[in-house]
């Protein structure tokens, strides 16, 4: 059976290095058998991955933001791995929250979130089914188009 990281590669992606905190916070925190990520931007090698440009999402940039949500998801998974040691210990994706910097009258945040959600289902199968919120906001850090948070349940290793 393939590992989660092998499934990520088979889906055409690579797990990045864990993101560095840009302030006084941790990219991910473990509490009991849950891991909570801080908001993750669609960054690759420290740069925003925004094919259609930075800033607010509208109907014309919806597909670009869909793909950017997958980059942010991979950053969240890397943050989770940094506190669990492996993604294979994830028992369930509990909750995904996506904040989308939205133009006035843009109401397709849920379609942007489908980028991350569909990748979670592809990688984790039934364990990837999750609760979700997709929220339109006025602005995000670095003028990013979106910011993603994850909560996952994992099986702690016995020491």
Q: List, for residues 102-137, the tens digit of each pLDDT value.
A: 999 999 999 999 999 999 999 999 999 999 999 999
Q: Which CATH class is domain 4-17+27-154?
A: alpha beta
Say yes or no to pLDDT of 159 above 50. Answer: no
Banded model confidence at residue 157, pLDDT cuts 50, 70, 90: low
Environment class of 97 (CB within 10 Å of its CB; exposed 0-12, middle 13-18, buried 19+): middle
The C-alpha atoms of residue 135 and residue 114 are separated, in whole angstroms, by 13
Q: List, for residues 8-39, the tens digit of each pLDDT value.
A: 999 999 999 988 888 899 999 999 999 999 99
Q: Look at residue 51 in the predicted model and tell me its pLDDT.
A: 61
The beta-strand segments (E) located in the chain are 28-31, 34-37, 43-44, 47-48, 90-101, 131-137, 146-154
Say yes or no to pLDDT of 53 above 80. Answer: no
| Local structure of 20: helix, strand or coil | coil
pTM for the full predicted model: 0.95
Q: Where are the domains of the chain?
A: 4-17+27-154
Q: List, for residues 63-101, the tens digit of each pLDDT value.
A: 999 999 999 999 999 999 999 999 999 999 999 999 999
CA atoms within 13 A on the CB side of 142: 16
The C-alpha atoms of residue 96 and residue 72 are separated, in whole angstroms, by 11
Say yes or no to pLDDT of 158 above 60. Answer: no
**Please, are residues 118 and 10 in contact by the beta-carbon 8 Å criterion?**
no
Task: Report the number of secondary-structure helices (H) and strands (E) in the chain.
Answer: 3, 7
The C-alpha atoms of residue 66 and residue 127 are separated, in whole angstroms, by 21
């Amino acid at each position: 059976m393939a590992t989660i990281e092998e499934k990520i590669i088979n889906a055409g992606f690579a797990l990045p290095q864990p993101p560095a905190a840009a302030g006084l916070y941790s990219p991910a925190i473990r509490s009991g058998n849950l891991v909570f990520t801080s908001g993750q931007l669609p960054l690759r090698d420290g740069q925003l991955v925004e094919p259609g440009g930075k800033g607010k999402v509208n109907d014309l940039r919806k597909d670009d933001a869909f793909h950017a949500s997958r980059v942010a998801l991979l950053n969240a998974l890397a943050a989770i791995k940094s506190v669990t040691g492996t993604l294979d210990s994830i028992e369930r994706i509990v909750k995904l929250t996506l904040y989308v910097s939205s133009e006035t009258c843009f109401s397709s945040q849920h379609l942007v979130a489908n980028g991350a959600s569909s990748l979670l289902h592809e990688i984790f199968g039934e364990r990837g089914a999750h609760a979700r919120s997709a929220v339109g906001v006025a602005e995000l850090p670095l003028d990013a188009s979106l910011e993603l948070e994850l909560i996952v349940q994992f099986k702690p290793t016995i020491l």
